[in-house]
A and B are shown apart, each in its own frame.
Chain A
Amino acid sequence: MMHRLLRCARLVLLLAAAPLMASAQTAPRPLVWGDTLPATLDPHAIFDVPSQFILLNVYDGLYRYQGNPPRLEPWLAESHTVSADGLTWEFTLRAGAKFHDGSEITAEDVVYSFRRLLAMRRAPAAAFTPVLTAEAVTAVNPRTVRFVLSRPYAPFLSALPLVAVVNQRVLAPHVAGDDWGSAWLAANSAGSGAYRVNATNYQPRVSLDLERFPDHFSGFAGNPRPIEAVRVRPVLETSTRVLALLRGEIDATDSYLPADQVERVDRNPTTRVARDESMRVFIIRMNNQRPPFDNHDVRLCLAHAFNYEGFNNVVLRGFVARNAGPNPNNLWGNPENLAPYAFDLARARTHCDRARAAGVDLSRPIEIHVQNELQQTTQAAQLFQSDLRRIGINLRIVPNTWPNITSATARAETTPDMWIHWVSTYFVDPENWIGQMYDSQFHGTWKASSWYTNPRVDTLLRAARESLSQEERQRLYAEATALVVADSPDIWVYNTVNLRGLSRRVSGYSFSPVGSGGEVRLMSLEN
């Protein structure tokens, strides 16, 4: 009876939907990108993982990361020189590169872009403000731009891809007071990238339509069938995102496909999962300035009490790679044969007992804050909770959100006992990980939220930041990493394998840890 009713309902709906389904099938589908949109389209206002999609497709920078492992390649710049003291950098611009309005990109545009970035002092500026002032960026001639740093800063070149070059002529009429046109640029574009924004259809965090810019300087080399139109339609719920991919409503999910969905997406004849080792380290933080974490034995106890293999290989089904320290395994700057902490409850108990004998109070409940919307952080905390209970430590899981936790990390007193997060690739240099996580000058930022202090590590990291010799930097970072790992200020769990669900009609998808494979210029589409 029930089956008959369901069959009847299906028939009625089929008849009602038939004309429309026919019309929808005839129209060619653009690329539908289901990843998250940033809060603003202004490339100088924010820098997070979603904003990299805008940076890579709508704008160009002087240099760009390509491939995996990421190679730093000349982009709007065709070459550069650096003075012997490491302070003066000169970049020669590629001839003939154009903005979307057809005007040529000049050194003055690069100068304007950096001055805008430094004046707005928003997130992407953080990498430059300690060493660069607005007056120190000048145009030597229409094709040469000069930067004079206040002190040597080795990661300068690595951080350059963070900065988009914007078209000052397009922006100028929309500048209101001292806002540098940010209100207008939040919903429009002034770039030169391979795709331009259709601002009429833009709805913040809901939809963004991009059309191909045929005059892009790259000429879409190596891609005979570039995609003409892109529709970015972020899907809020994970389950809906997966279903939408399976059904063909979107062509790509975000790059955090849950491990338990991988098999399902791969099994579907029209979809696949792109697996790429990234540079994104999963970390359980400890507030080293708050008892009991100010005790080395307690930190070692906790480092041995996390079931790395169970979490990585069973919960995450082996889609991640164990990471021994703060830098991703696949980055330079790690010491040779760096051994990861092993899950060993007997050793953990020994360290905890030693701490108790030294008078450390381990009886109070320890709070671990997880990011509510990111299931993995809760799974890791639950696994940790059950093992810690076996050695007499009471772990209390506190659901929270990223903004709440990161704002709490501004002071040691408000930083949680423990919390879980990832450190993604903002630029490819150990400075992005160990440099900004364990140099005490960064205390008060979320990256340095373990409040770790070791004067020797500070000295090594600062020397590595200023050295212009790659061999010396490698040696300094390796030594600093060995010291940090021995001190065990945090628990480093794995390096991410990015999992992005893709429609099989998408080809040419090329992953790079910077941008997580969101560069549409390289892709083609079968309709």
Chain B
Amino acid sequence: MALYILRRIALSIPALLGLILLTFVLSRVVPGDPAATLAGDAATPAQIAQIRAQYGLDRPILEQAVIHVRQVLSGDLGNSIFSGRPVAEEIWQRLPATLELTFVALFLATLFGIGLGLVAALDHNGPLDHLVRVVSVGGLAIASFWLAIMLQLQFSMEWNLLPLRGRLDVALGQVPRLTGFMLFDTLAAGRPDMFLDALRHLALPAFTLALPGLATIARFTRSGVLEVLQKDYVLYARAAGYGRFRLAAIYVLRNAVTVTVTQVGLLFGALVSGAVAVEAVFDWPGLGTYAVQAILSADYKALLAVTLVIGVVYAVVNVAVDVAQAVIDPRVADQ
């Protein structure tokens, strides 16, 4: 097993190196001059040229690429072209917000996705199955930003139940930052009122982000359960007198979720990168809004770092999924 894990980790290293190079090249061939942006509205061409030289933007692109790879490998993501601050520091400030949102969304998607998938399979071609099909098709088809605005209009504006934006009500003040995870930090600070407020702020963006994942998980769970239900051992178990729900929950589901686990893992990466639209609408101060701001200001250093972080998240999750699959089904590691 240890050898298997090491092999999986080793395989992700060239992928990450390739990602570093590819994103660098892409970010430099698109139009836009970060030096002009940094110099500001009233800058003269001489000032822009000076900034270009200061940041090494006037060097040949290959030389810039080599410097960039060397810096990234030594853990230096450089300074933001726009704010002048270390990108790693800015990302470190933003990452917990995105991870918190993603974890909660993934939790919702998994919990309800598996539940709905199971219910749909057990009521195969029945009314509940049709209902779940509508939910899952809708979940995949509805654009996140549209859903986000609809939820804001209904839950915040119409019913005045949930906050519209942000992570915490300003009237409650600021919570000391321990981890950047608001749910944890508010509890650590002994502020249950802030914890509840943070939960309320999470509700709409987490649901919006969770819906497509929930639909995917429900569909995979449904087909997995249906497949297992056809197996002989299920037939024998039924013949032995096991109740329908006991059979489904204990024997069928466990064997049916192997594929779902892979999906959950892949979804995590997809949710992190897919948070861009959701974060923008709900003003969630995470990596998504950071990426949008970096794009609008042509801050290529920040963009490279965001892409890299998302790439690393994908790689780590992929390894974790491989390991989880090997634990659930040891035959995977032997293959």
Please tell me if the beta carbons of A410 and B48 are within 8 angstroms of each other in the complex: yes
- How far is it, in angstroms, between the C-alpha of A183 and the C-alpha of B85 when the chains are bound? 6
CB of A403 within 8 A of CB of B33, answer yes
Contact A236 B193 (CB under 8 A): no
**Contact (A410, B161) CB under 8 Å given A204-B85, A240-B283:** no
Contact A243 B163 (CB under 8 A): no
B-chain residues with CB within 8 Å of residue A424 when the two chains form the complex: 41
Interface check B164, CB cutoff 8 A: yes
A13 adjacent to B170 (CB under 8 Å): no
Residues of B with C-beta under 8 A to A239: 149, 281
Chain B residues within 8 Å of A246, by CB: 157
Interface assignment of B62: CB less than 8 Å from any CB of chain A: no
Question: Are A48 and B41 within 8 A (Cβ)?
Answer: yes
Chain B neighbourhood of A42, CB < 8 A: 84
Instruction: Return B40 CB to nearest CB of chain A, in Å.
Output: 3
Report chain B residues within 8 Å CB of A47: 40-42
Of the candidate stretches A25-33, A319-327, A339-347, A494-502, the one touching chain B is: A25-33
Contact partners of B155 in chain A: CB under 8 A: 13
Give complex CA distance A442, B295 in Å. Answer: 28
Q: Are B164 and A410 interface neighbours, CB within 8 A?
A: no
Interface residues on A, range: 35 or more
B47 contacts the other chain (Cβ, under 8 Å)?
yes
> Considering the complex, which residues of chain B in the window 296-326 have a beta carbon less than 8 Å from any beta carbon of chain A?
296-298
Q: Are A244 and B164 in contact (CB under 8 A)?
A: yes
B31 within 8 A of A: yes
**Interchain CB contact under 8 A, B200 and A121:** no
Per-residue B-contact encoding for A28-58, CB less than 8 Å = 1, 0 else: 1110100000011010011110000000000
The answer to whether A187 has its CB under 8 Å from any CB of chain B is yes
Q: Tell me if A353 counts as interface (CB < 8 A to partner B).
A: no
B14 sits at the interface (CB 8 A): no
In the assembled complex, the CB of A390 is this many whole angstroms from the nearest CB of chain B, namely 32
Q: Is B99 located at the chain interface by the 8 A CB criterion? A: no
| Binary interface encoding of chain A residues 265-297 relative to chain B, with 1 for a CB under 8 A from any of its CBs, else 0 | 000000000000000000000000000000000
Q: Mark interface residues in A1-31 (1 if CB within 8 Å of B CB, else 0).
A: 0000000001001100101100110011110
Would A122 and B40 be within 8 Å (CB), given that A39-B82, A403-B33 are in contact?
yes
Do the beta carbons of B84 and A403 come within 8 Å of each other? no
User: Is B296 touching A373 in the complex (CB atoms < 8 A)?
Assistant: yes
Decide if B161 touches A14 in the complex (CB within 8 Å). yes
Q: Given A183-B85, A235-B165, A123–B39 Cβ distance below 8 Å?
A: yes
| Contact of B32 (CB < 8 Å), options: A240, A403, A444 | A403
Which residue of chain A lies nearest to B37 when distances are taken between CB atoms in the complex?
A: A403
- Most chain-A CB neighbours within 10 Å: which of B36, B153, B282, B296? B36
Q: How far is the CA of A243 from the CA of B295 in the complex (A)?
A: 25
When distances are taken between beta carbons in the complex, the residues of chain B under 8 Å from A90 are none
Q: List the B side residues contacting A29 at CB < 8 Å.
A: 170-171
Contact segment of B20-28, B125-133, B234-242, B285-293: B285-293
A27 and B83 contact, Cβ closer than 8 Å, known pairs A122-B39, A236-B280: no
Contact with B along A212-251 (1 / 0, CB 8 A): 0000000000000000000101011101100110110100
Interface status of A401 (Cβ within 8 A of chain B) = yes
Given A10-B159, A40-B84, A204-B90: A407 and B33 interface contact (C-beta under 8 Å): yes
CA distance A14 to B90 in the complex (A): 37
Q: Does B179 contact A (CB under 8 A)?
A: no
CB distance from A202 to the nearest CB of B (A): 10
Q: Which residues of B contact A171 (CB under 8 A)?
A: none
Judging by beta carbons under 8 Å apart, are B282 and A240 in contact?
A: yes
A247 and B84 contact, Cβ closer than 8 Å, known pairs A121-B50, A403-B34? no
Q: Contacts A10-B161, A20-B193, A123-B41 hold; do A45 and B47 have CB atoms under 8 A apart?
A: no
Instruction: Flag the segment in A70-78, A81-89, A124-132, A456-464 that touches B.
Output: A124-132
**Beta-carbon contacts under 8 Å, A128-162 to B:** 129
Give the distance to chain B from A237, nearest Cβ to Cβ, in Å: 5
Q: Is the CB of A17 within 8 A of B39?
A: no
CB interface residues, B 247-295, toward A, < 8 Å: 280-283, 285, 289, 292-293, 295
Query: A136 to B216, alpha carbons, bound, how many Å?
Result: 69
Inter-chain CA distance A235–B39, complex, in Å, is 24
A249-B164, A407-B36 known; A127+B42 contact, CB < 8 A: yes
Cross-chain contact A39 with B297 (CB below 8 angstroms)? yes
Asked if B43 and A404 sit within 8 Å, CB to CB, the answer is no
Tell me which residues from 127 to 157 in chain B have a Cβ below 8 Å from any Cβ of chain A: 149, 152-153, 155-157
How far is B280's CA from A45's CA once the two chains are assembled, in angstroms? 27
The answer to whether A233 and B37 touch across the interface, beta carbons within 8 angstroms, is no
How many angstroms from the CA of A235 to the CA of B160 in the assembled complex?
A: 19
Q: Output the least CB separation between A396 and chain B (Å).
A: 16
Q: Chain B residues with Cβ under 8 A from A30's Cβ? A: 170-171
For residues 50 through 108 of chain B, which have their beta carbon under 8 Å from a beta carbon of chain A? 50-51, 80, 82-85, 90, 93-94
Q: Which residues 432-449 in A have Cβ within 8 Å of B in the complex?
A: 442, 444-447
Check: A186 CB closer than 8 A to any chain B CB.
Answer: yes
Contacts of B170 in A (CB 8 A): 29-30, 32, 231, 233
Identity of the chain A residue whose Cβ is nearest the Cβ of B39 in the assembled complex: A123
Cα separation A207 to B197 with both chains bound (whole Å): 18
CB-based contact A39/B83 at 8 Å: yes
B115 close to chain A: CB less than 8 A: no
B243 at the interface (CB under 8 A from A): no
Instruction: Known A206-B285, A236-B283, A249-B166; judge A17-B161 contact (CB<8 A).
Output: yes
C-alpha spacing A39/B196, complex, angstroms: 32
Chain B residues within an 8 Å CB radius of A108? none
From B51, B93, B174, B298, A404 is in contact (CB under 8 Å) with B298
Which A residues are CB-close (under 8 A) to B43? 122-123, 126, 445
Any A CB within 8 A of the CB of B169:
yes
Q: How far is the CB of B87 from chain A (nearest CB, A)?
A: 11
Given A236-B292, A403-B298, verify A24-B169 contact (CB < 8 Å): yes
Across-interface contacts of B193 in A (CB, < 8 A):
19-20, 23
CA distance A250 to B116 in the complex (A): 39
If A19-B196, A126-B43 touch, whether A247 touches B156 (CB-CB below 8 Å) is yes
- The 10 A-B residue pairs with the shortest CB-CB distance, nearest first, are A123-B40, A407-B33, A403-B298, A444-B45, A407-B36, A206-B285, A27-B171, A403-B37, A404-B32, A39-B82
| Chain B contact residues, CB within 8 Å of chain A | 31-45, 47-48, 50-51, 80, 82-85, 90, 93-94, 149, 152-153, 155-157, 159-166, 169-172, 174, 193, 196-197, 200, 280-283, 285, 289, 292-293, 295-298
Given A123-B47, A187-B85, A444-B45, 5 more pairs with CB closer than 8 A: A17-B200, A24-B169, A47-B40, A403-B33, A404-B298
Residues of chain A at the chain B interface (Cβ within 8 Å) = 10, 13-14, 17, 19-20, 23-24, 27-30, 32, 39-40, 42, 45-48, 121-127, 129, 182-183, 186-187, 200-201, 203-207, 209, 231, 233, 235-237, 239-240, 243-244, 246-247, 249, 373, 401-404, 406-408, 410, 424, 426, 442, 444-447
User: Would you list 23 pairs from A and B whose C-beta atoms are within 8 A, ordered by A residue?
Assistant: A10-B159, A19-B193, A40-B83, A48-B41, A123-B43, A126-B47, A183-B84, A201-B174, A206-B94, A240-B164, A240-B281, A244-B164, A247-B156, A247-B157, A247-B164, A249-B163, A249-B164, A407-B36, A426-B41, A426-B42, A442-B44, A444-B44, A445-B45
